[in-house]
Amino acid sequence: MAIRAGLEETILKFSELVRLLEAHGFNLVKEKGSIRYYGKAGWPALIRVDYHGAKEVPTGTYHHILKSAGIRKGESHD
């Protein structure tokens, strides 16, 4: 986690984001190129992740994916 101008910002790589989704019960449903779709039973929509491995996830993208997956910011499922 990095602190910038007094705001807390999470820095995560795409591979870590995928592990977070999988820890919350999401599984890879389909893949086309670098675009992956994750879903889980009982969840109404697929979660789209433009996968780029070791690159950092942009903050807005990170928040959008968490919101789409119903995962609260700061919530982990270890």
Q: Is the pTM of this model over 0.85?
A: no
pLDDT in tens, 20-44: 999 999 999 999 999 999 999 999 9
Using DSSP's 3-state secondary structure scheme, residue 63 falls into helix
Taking the C-alpha atoms of residue 17 and residue 58, their distance in angstroms, rounded to an integer, is 11
5 pLDDT more than 90: no
Q: Looking at domain 12-69, which of 2.60.98.20, 3.40.50.2000, 3.20.20.70, 3.30.920.30 is its CATH number? A: 3.30.920.30
Read off the pLDDT of residues 10-23 as tens digits, 9 standing for 90 and up: 688 999 999 999 99
Q: Let me know if 13 is exposed, middle or buried by CB neighbors in 10 A (0-12, 13-18, 19+).
A: middle
- The mean per-residue pLDDT over the stretch 67-78 comes to 78
- β-sheet with 47-50: strand ranges across: 27-32, 35-39, 47-50
Q: Is the pLDDT of residue 56 over 90?
A: yes
